[in-house]
């Protein structure tokens, strides 16, 4: 069976993508998936060549024909998302696609219509296939687009006989994160030794526990606050979570990003060595 690893942190900016792109360079026999569909960044370092793209349809959205509308007010009364004004004017940007207005309209003036809310891509990179996506500005159903990315990644893995899918996860604990985590073999939680980073990483570990997904952890920029780093180590010990490595603060990570390269390609220095060691331990953790 194809193994799946998702890299998550709860808080953004902890180094998920820096670590995930380096893993992409180090792993063998794998497919890469960028599950941060509303702010995808992996492609900046991986420079994919798009082989296949497909249109993503999110939820249908209400469309109203004012010529048929008799202003009965049923749509306004029944919509729970404020998409209709008291004069029955429709605000499509507030529509959540539930279709209740279509259901209650007595004269069929409202139709739910399909619309394009994003795109998904299957690409080639110098490290193997990448599945990625772009959610259109401000759209809903991003969790569904993440699910599509994961489905396509599994198909690519199966058709090309790849044994591993590396998933760069989004921040938060909501629908996109849940879609990026459910059913994977392992999650790597990236901690940052700040009170905010710890707060959010603990929440994402709760999510992993809820869905019974095995978790391991690493600490990025561990030397920014040694007391917090010790607290993280204690916490992980108490939770039975293996800490597979500690990455020092190092400006080389930014330099690599500026050069649009992964850390392990850009340098052989201590930062690169640490990430290589972490990758070895992650592989063993499966």
Partner 1 sequence: MKITVASGKGGTGKTTIAVNLALSIENSMLIDCDVEGPNSHIFFKEPMVKLKDVSIPAPKFDLDTCTLCGKCAEFCQYNAISIIGEKLLFFEELCHGCGGCKIICPVNAITEVDHNVGLIEKGGTEDLPVYHGLLNISEPFGVPIINELKQFADGSKVTIFDSPPGTACPAVEAMRDVDFCILVTEPTPFGLHDLTLTIDVIRQIGTPFGVVVNRDGIGDDRVDRYCENEGIPLLAKIPNDMEVAKLYSQGIPMVTGLPKYRELFEEMFQKIREMV
Question: Which residues here bind partner 1, judged by CB under 8 A?
Answer: 10-14, 17, 38-39, 41, 44, 59-60, 78, 80-81, 93, 96-100, 103-104, 135, 137-140, 142-143, 170-178, 192-196, 199-200, 203, 206-207, 210-211, 224-225, 228, 251, 254, 257-258, 260
CB of 158 to partner 1, least distance (A): 25
CB of 92 to partner 1, least distance (A): 12
Pairing of β 61-64 and β 110-113 = antiparallel
d(CA 100, CA 102): 5
CB of 97 to partner 1, least distance (A): 5
d(CA 147, CA 133): 11
d(CA 133, CA 156): 15
> Quick one: 14 or 156, whose CB is closer to partner 1?
14
d(CA 239, CA 231): 12
> Quick one: 78 or 185, whose CB is closer to partner 1?
78
DSSP percent split of the chain into helix, strand, coil, nearest 5: 40, 25, 35
Pairing of β 61-64 and β 49-57 = unpaired
Contact 114, 59 (CB under 8 A): no
CB of 30 to partner 1, least distance (A): 22
> Quick one: 129 or 172, whose CB is closer to partner 1?
172
> Quick one: 140 or 283, whose CB is closer to partner 1?
140
Encoding tokens for residue 134?
């772009």
> Quick one: 164 or 205, whose CB is closer to partner 1?
205
φ and ψ of 252, to 5 deg: -55, -30
> Quick one: 28 or 210, whose CB is closer to partner 1?
210
CB of 125 to partner 1, least distance (A): 16
Measure the CA angle with vertex 129, ends 21 and 274; round to 5°: 25
CB of 139 to partner 1, least distance (A): 7
φ and ψ of 122, to 5 deg: -115, 125
């Amino acid at each position: 069976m194809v193994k799946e690893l998702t890299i998550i942190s709860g808080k953004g900016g902890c180094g998920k993508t820096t670590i995930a792109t380096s893993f992409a360079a180090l792993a063998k026999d794998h497919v890469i998936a960028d599950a941060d569909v509303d702010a995808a960044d992996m492609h900046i370092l991986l420079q994919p060549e798009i082989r296949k793209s497909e249109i993503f349809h999110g939820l249908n959205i209400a469309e109203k024909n004012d010529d048929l509308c008799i202003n009965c007010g049923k749509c306004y009364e029944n919509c729970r998302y404020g998409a209709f004004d008291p004069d029955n004017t429709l605000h499509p940007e507030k529509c959540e696609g539930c279709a209740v207005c279509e259901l209650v309209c007595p004269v069929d003036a409202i139709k739910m219509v399909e619309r394009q809310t994003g795109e998904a891509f299957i690409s080639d990179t110098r490290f193997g296939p990448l599945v990625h996506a772009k959610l259109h500005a401000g759209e809903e159903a991003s969790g569904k687009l993440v699910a599509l990315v994961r489905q396509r990644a599994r198909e690519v893995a199966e058709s090309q006989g790849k044994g591993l899918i590396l998933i760069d996860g989004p921040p938060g604990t909501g629908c996109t994160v849940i879609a990026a985590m459910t059913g994977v073999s392992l999650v790597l939680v990236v901690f940052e030794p700040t009170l905010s980073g710890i707060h959010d990483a603990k929440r994402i570990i709760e999510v992993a526990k809820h869905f019974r997904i095995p978790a391991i952890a690493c600490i990025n920029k561990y030397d920014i606050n040694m007391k917090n780093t010790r607290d993280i180590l204690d916490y992980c010990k108490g939770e039975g979570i293996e800490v597979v490595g500690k990455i020092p603060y190092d400006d080389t990570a930014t330099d690599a990003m500026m050069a649009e390269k992964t850390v392990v390609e850009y340098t052989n220095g201590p930062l690169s060595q640490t990430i290589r060691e972490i990758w070895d331990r992650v592989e063993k953790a499966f």
